[in-house]
Amino acid sequence: MENPQSAIRNPQSAIRNPQSAIPNPQSPISRGVFQRIPRLWARISPRAIRRNLAAIRSRLPRETAIAAVVKSDGYGHGMELAARAAVAEGCVFLAVISVEEAATLRAMGFDCGVLVIGPIEPWQAPEAVALDLSVFAGNFEVAQALDAAAREQTTRARVHLKIDTGMGRFGFLDTPEEFGPALDRLLQLSHLELEGAATHFSVADEPGSEYTREQARRFRLILRMLEARGVRPRWIHAANSAAIVHFPDTAFSLVRTGLAMYGVYPGPQPEAALELEPAMTLGCRIADIRRVPAGFSVSYAGTFKTTRPSRLAVLPVGYGCGYPRHASGKAEAVIRGRRAPLAGRITMNITVADVTGIPETRAGDTALLFGREGSDLLRVEEVARAAGTIPYEVLCNVGRCTLRLLEED
């Protein structure tokens, strides 16, 4: 894409009320500044997203293009912001989960390729065609509806055949007995442009996974079946973020990257390290410092009791802001460059950190919950492990509930 900005008709700020005045943890903050600075924020870095995409591209063959996955509000980072960064980095598609999300991108002014990677219903076909979307077709009924809509609108519908090689969610089953007859029927639909063929790996985040290799083998058999019938889709894609890292031979002509573009590692970091920068930083101002005696009970159910006279920092963050409750007693915050364990149950809006070992901590200091703050780094992967979940869930939940601030580019 020679001029990526031309893909956006009416660029608008992706963040409604950006504020850059994030407190310095080493500096005292006056009462007046407190009034202008949020107590809790998720700071988003478009620069980090672009750098991550550039790092991903460096691992790909020259001829392989990128579809940037911006579904679910850009994994909590903001769909418009993430899409803008992806277009600037030359991604050929913005990938979303639904026609509704795709319509939102078009309304924002994005004229680039938009790929709907979730299942659509037949009644949505006319809108998908009118918006010039590329659509995963995983059954004949949807393909037929797209063909009929394209005929009505005197155009052709862009279709990516979704092949189920073992993910088990949706798509044409990859067996010759199932896919062969389906393909014969598809080729009778004259208003379809078979633009792509795709599958999705289910365990690519496990390096060396034999199941992933088997899925890739089965997908290649389908590609040979297509070629034997004279079908040569422009876009062949299977690799998600994890496969880009762990199975680079499955790059084909297009990859779909979601988690990695936001700076999060999809499974164990490879030996040939892919350097990813967190695009979201969750931080807050310490609301209060409490001095308590030994044997003091903290938060609901008294699951934590101090074993010595302690200093406790009150943090205005909790599961009501998307921070996972299941990380209680396991996660940490970074305060003044050092780790402080979270003490007791995480509640809806308040969490407590034990800062006894950081005696210089003061109210108004910054507490880093995850991401990067200056030289401090606490990866969201750590928080997810502490909560027994995955980074995707943490990012999406925080992004939905917390004020997002745009980092200056």
| Catalytic positions, written as ranges | 71, 300
Amino acid sitting at position 332 = E
Question: Do 183 and 139 form a contact (C-beta atoms < 8 A)?
Answer: no
Query: Among 167, 165, 106, 158, which Cα is nearest to 136's?
Result: 158
Question: Do 103 and 131 form a contact (C-beta atoms < 8 A)?
Answer: yes
Q: Dihedral sign, CA of 92, 115, 390, 214? A: negative
Q: In this structure, what token pair is assigned to residue 276?
A: 């990813």
Nearest-angstrom CA–CA distance, 144 and 95: 22
A 10 A CB-CB count for 76 gives 26
Question: Do 22 and 37 form a contact (C-beta atoms < 8 A)?
Answer: yes
351 φ, ψ (degrees, to nearest 5): -130, 150
- Contact partners, residue 239, CB within 8 Å, separation at least 6: 201, 204, 247, 248, 250, 251, 252, 255, 256
- Contact partners, residue 344, CB within 8 Å, separation at least 6: 297, 298, 299, 300, 302, 303, 304, 328, 329, 352
Question: Do 395 and 77 form a contact (C-beta atoms < 8 A)?
Answer: yes
Burial of residue 150 (CB within 10 Å: 0-12, 13-18, 19+) is buried
Q: Are strands 304-305 and 310-315 parallel, antiparallel or unpaired?
A: unpaired
A 10 A CB-CB count for 109 gives 14
Beta bridge partners of 162: 198
Q: Dihedral sign, CA of 389, 395, 400, 405? A: positive
Nearest-angstrom CA–CA distance, 350 and 285: 12
